[in-house]
Structure formats: structure tokens, C-alpha cells
Structure 1
Amino acid sequence: MKLVLHSYTFRRYPLRHVFAVARRYGWDGIELVHFHFDPARVEDEVADAVALGRRYGVGVHCVGYTGDFVSDDPQARAASLALAERTITAAARHGVGLVNGWSGTLERDPDDWRRNGSAVAEERHYARAAEGYRRLGAYAGRHGVRVGVEVYPGSVHDTVATTARLLAMVDHPDVVATADPGNAYVVSEPDRDPAVLDQLAGRLGYFHLKNLYPDGGRADFNVDTAEGVLDNYAWITRAASLGVPAICVEYCGDGDPHPPISRAVGYVRGCLALRDDLDRRHAAAEAAPVTEALPAGQPLPVAEALPVTGALPVAGALPVVAAGSGTGR
């Protein structure tokens, strides 16, 4: 599994800074978003970003797009889809296999995400989004690129359930979901349980990671990935069990992004190492013969029989590490 650094984390810094930080802390790639390139010049901008990444030894895993596929204005929809196709072409030309974004937003109350997006969407909005993604899926498939549909506040796909609904309408193998639990937490009660990801089984192509504290109808992202209200060990391991090929971490809070993001890669890898170690221990415990009853409170002697691999610095504890992925940015 690849671990990707979202360039929105360093939105106040130049792109070379993103690549240098990614190299410094061992990220496998970056997600390039419009804070670091001009979408109107996407062909040249993606080419320049990929070349810059090669100089730092870090690849571009994903290029972001922003859509307006649900607009009442047919010209706006057409222009948005044409730009998304140009983004796909630019990505394909430089070996980037994923573009990620959303279909547009429907906003009634900017201060309460629960009142926007799917809460106000009508069938025509879903139909327009599905039509747009069918077109993009066919285009992307011919270019060897996949199109990510991010769970994003204000969009018709602002929860896992509405994203699954849209993907079912699109029904194209090259259009996949980008789950983002932090984006959906305040929007939907079911999106607080990692089991909700099972609705995206077979269609989960990407995963954004962050944490938050609820702030009314919005999210406060001034928090490390290992803190906040999301049990990110559970989210990471659930996404991994569904075969997600890459996890992208983003810090969306205020202040200096370096301390939280420097801890993030260790946190995610620590979660995966802990999962693997626990799986081995479970397997050994289930396979071990029990010849006699142990006194009450005495543990099975499994730990002594198993080597500790990928152990964390403090036994039995995850390190407190970095802040997470963005509000779908």
C-alpha cells in the first residue's frame, strides 16, 4: 500500500517544499491539487510537477480536479467536464494513474454541512453527476487512468451511502470511490462507523485520512491524526482489508503543518504493523492446543512464542502522530 502526502497540507508553501518534505519523511508520493497548479494550464503544470518530483525522488500519485457537473448551467457543465478530460490526458501522459475530486457542490448553509449536498440534492443532480462520471470513466479507461469520486461536503456524494448510490448509477470500473471519513463525520451518523466502508467493497480506489473534533455543523481539523473523534486505527485497517491501494494523509488545520505531518507516516505504518502483529497472535492463539484449563486471570502463553516485528516504541500503544487528510481538498 502506498502512503501519499496531500499537497493541500502545505498550501501556503511552494510545490518544491511539498516534494522535499515528502522525501524527508518517507512518503511514497503526493496528491497534487489546484493550490499548487493552474488548472487552466493543466498540461504544462502536470508536466512540470512530475519533472520536479523526479528531481526530489517523489512521484505524483494523483492529480486533483474540481467539477461542476451538477450545475443548472449546461455550458458550465460542459466546460467542467472538458477540463476534467484535459486533466486525465495530462495525468496519463506522465504515468499518473489517478485523478481525484468531486462533481460540484450544492450549498444552502456554509456553516452547517448537514444542510448542504445530498440533503438538498434532487434526482436531476444525481442524474447529471452520473452522466458526467460515465463520460469521464469511458474517457479515463481509454487512457489507463481511474477517476476518484471523493466523499466531499456539499456534494451529492457527501456520505459513503450517497457515493455508493452514485457509483451504482455510473456503473463504470474506472470510476472509483475516495473515502474520507473526516469529511462525512458531521454530515452522517452512519459515517462514524468504519463498517460503512463495506458499502464500497470492490470500488474503494483511494482513501483520505485525517481526524477532527465536531464544531456544530462543521469540522475542526486542528488535530493530529491519532487524536480527535475518529478511531483511525479502525478506519485504516478496514480500508486495508478492502484492498485500498493508497492512503493519503492531509493536515487541514491552522499553524505549522510540519509537526503533525512528520508524525503521520509513522502513525499509519504503525497501525498496519500492529494489525499484522495482532493477526499473527490471533492465528497462533487459535491454533494452539489447550490441554488443560489455566487458572483464572492467567494469559495464554502466546506472546512469548511469537517474535515481535514492527513493534512500536511503547509496548501496546500507538505513537501519537500526524494530522490527517483534508476536507476533500
Structure 2
Amino acid sequence: MKLVLHSYTFRRYPLRHVFAVARRYGWDGIELVHFHFDPARVEDEIAKAVTLGRRYGVPIHCVGYTGDFVGDDPSDRAASLALARRTIETCARHGIELVNGWSGTLERDPDDWRRNGSAIAEDRHYERAAEGYRQLGEYARRHGVRVGVEVYPGSVHDTVATTARLLAMVDHPNVFATADPGNAYVVSPADRDPEVLDQLAGRLGYFHLKNLHPDGGRADFNVDTADGVLDNYAWITKAYALGVPAICVEYCGTGDPHPPIARAGNYVRDCLALRDDLDRRHEAAEAIGANEAAEAIGAIGAAEAAEPNRAAAVDLSRPAGSSVATLVAKDAGPALAGAPGSGR
């Protein structure tokens, strides 16, 4: 699984700073968003960003698109789709296979995300979004690019369920979901459980990771990735189980972004390493349990053959040999909590 740095984290810094930080901390790529380029000049801007990335040895994994596919003005919708097509074509020219963004926003109350987006969306808004993404999906297919639809506050796809609804309407293999639990937590109680991602199984191609504390109807993002209300170990391992190829980490809070994003990278790596280690230990424990059970069954057969009356005395609840507890304790690695850079 690739580890991608979201350029929004360093929105107050020049793009060269994003690449330098990514190189220093060993990130696999960056997601380039409009805070670091002018979308109206997307062809020239992405070309310059790609050159800069090569200089630092860090590729652009993804480019963000912006626009409004759902508003009432058809000229605005057409202009937004045209710009997204230009972004897709430019990415294809430079070997960038992924664009990510959202379809626009519907806002009634800027201070309460629960009252915006899908809460006020009508069928016509979903139909407009779906038609736009069908067009982009087909254009992207011809150029070898995929289009991410991010779970985003204020959009018609501001929860996993509404994103799944939209993708079902779009029904195009080059259009998929980008999950972002931090964006959806205050919008929908269902989006607080990682199992909600099962609704996107087969259509989840990218993942945004951060953490938060609820602040009324909004989110306070001034918190480390390892803290806050999200159990990000559970989200990371669920995304991994569903085959997500890359996680993009962002810090959306205020203040100096360097310490929290450095801790975030170490935390995600710790989570993935712990997941692998626990899987190995579970497999080993199950194998030992199966072998001991087979030995016990063999012992029962031998005992029955020799002394049939003693067969009933064999206690399968306490097999001989190494216990699972002993196995787990042996060569145990450091726990996630308190690991260097974990933020715990």
C-alpha cells in the first residue's frame, strides 16, 4: 500500500516545500491540489509540478479537480466538466493515472455540515452529478486515467451511503470512491464504523486519512492522526482488506504542520506493520491449534484401541504442548501504542 502526502497539509508553503518534506520522510508520492496550482492553467502548472517532483525524486500520485457539476446554471456545469477533462488529459500526458475531487456543493448552513449536501439534495442534483461523472469516466477511460469521487462535506456524496448511491447511478469502471472518514464523521453516525466501507466494496480506489474532534456540526481537525475520535487503525486495516492501493494522509489543522504530519506517517506505517505481524501470529496460532487437535484425536484413537473404557477421560479442552499465549509472547514486537512517532 502506497503512502501519499496531501499537499493541502502545506497549503501555506510553496510546492517545492511539499516535495522536500515528502522526500525527507519517505512518502511514496503527493496529491497535488489547487492550493498549489492554478486550475485555469492546468496544462502548464502540472507540467511544472511534474518537473519539480522529478527534481526531488517524489512523483505526483494524484491531481485534484474542482468545479460544480450539480448547480442550476448549465454553462457553469459545462465549464466545470471541460476543466476536469483538461485535467484528465494533462495527467495522462505526464503518466499520472488518478484525479480526485467532488462534484460541487449545496450549502444551507456553513456551520453545520449535517444540514448541507445530501441533506438538501434532490434527485435532479444526483442526476446531474451522475451524468457529469459518466462523461468524465468515459473520457478518462480513453486516456488511461481513473476518476475519484471523494466523500466530501456539502456534496451530494458526503457520506459512504450517498457516494455508493451516486456510483451506482454512474456505473462506470473508471469512476470510483475516495473514502474520507474524517469528512463524514459529523455528517452521519453510520460513517463512524469502518464496516460502512463494505458498501463500496469493489468501488473503493483511494483513501484519505486524518482525525478530528466533533465541534457541533463541524469538525475540529487540530488533532494528530493517531488521536481524535476515529480509530484509524481500524480504518486503515479495513481499507487494506478491501484492496485500497494507496492511503493519502493530510493534516487539516492550524499551526505548524510538520510535527503532526511526521508523526502521521510513522503512525500509518506502524499500523500496517502491526496488522501484518498480528496476521502472522494468528495464522501460526491456528496452525498450532490444528496440529495439537490432530494429535489429541490420534491419542484418543490409540487409547480407545488399548483401553476403550478410558476414552471418555481424555480432556480436549487442555491440549498438550505450547499454548497460544506462549506463542504470542515469544518474539513479541513493540505495541502500537507508544511506538516511536505514533503520537500515542
Deviations 1:37-58 (A, max 9, x none): 0000000000000100000000
SS in 1 for 2:131: helix
Does the 8 Å CA contact 1:226/1:320 hold for their aligned counterparts? no
CA change 1:316–1:109 in 2 (3 A) is closer
Higher relative contact order, structure no. (Cα contacts within 8 Å, ≥ 6 residues apart): 1
Percent of aligned positions that are identical: 80
Write out aligned runs for 1:1-329 (5 A). Answer: 1-288=1-288, 289=292, 293=318, 300-303=325-328, 307=331, 311-312=333-334, 315=335, 317=337, 319=339, 321=341
Shift of 1:317: 2.6
| Conserved? CA contact 2:221–2:251, under 8 Å | yes
Deviation, structure 1 residue 36: 0.1
> Which 4+ residue blocks in structure 1 deviate beyond 2 angstroms?
315-323
| Structure 1 pair 26–121 and aligned structure 2 pair: CA distance change class (3 A) | same
Per-residue CA distance 1:159-200 (angstroms, 9 max, x = gap): 000000000000000001000000000000000000000111
Count residues with an aligned counterpart. 316
| Paired letter, 1:303 | V
Letter paired with 1:163: T
Give the distance between the partners of 1:300 and 1:278, measured in 2 at CA.
13
More helix by share: 2
> Counterparts of 1:262 and 1:85 in 2: how far apart (Å)?
34
Counterpart amino acid of residue 319 in structure 1: A
Which amino acid in 2 is paired with 1:317? A
Task: Give, as a single letter, the amino acid of the residue that structure 2 aligns with 1:112.
Answer: D
The farther-off stretch of 10-19 and 272-281 is 272-281
**Alpha-carbon distance in structure 2 between the residues aligned to 1:320 and 1:211:** 19
Cα contact 2:266–2:340 (8 A) shared by 1: no
How much does 1:319 deviate? 3.4
TM-score, scaled to structure 2: 0.89
1:220 counterpart letter in structure 2: D
* Structure 1 runs not aligned, ≥5 long: 324-329
Q: Deviations over 1:70-91 (max 9, x none)?
A: 0100000000000000000111
Change in 2 beyond 3 A, CA 1:318/1:143: farther
How far the C-alpha of 1:5 sits from its partner, in A, is: 0.2
Mark the runs of 5 or more structure 2 residues left unpaired by the alignment.
297-315
Letter in 2 for 1:100: N
C-alpha displacement of 1:304: 5.1
Q: By how many angstroms is 1:266 displaced?
A: 1.1
Q: Residues of 1 paired with 2:206 and 2:41: CA distance?
A: 25
Q: What displacement does 1:67 show?
A: 2.2
Q: Can you list the C-alpha shifts for 1:4-42, whole angstroms capped at 9, x where unaligned?
A: 000000000000000000000010000000000000000
Superposition TM-score, scaled by structure 1 size:
0.93
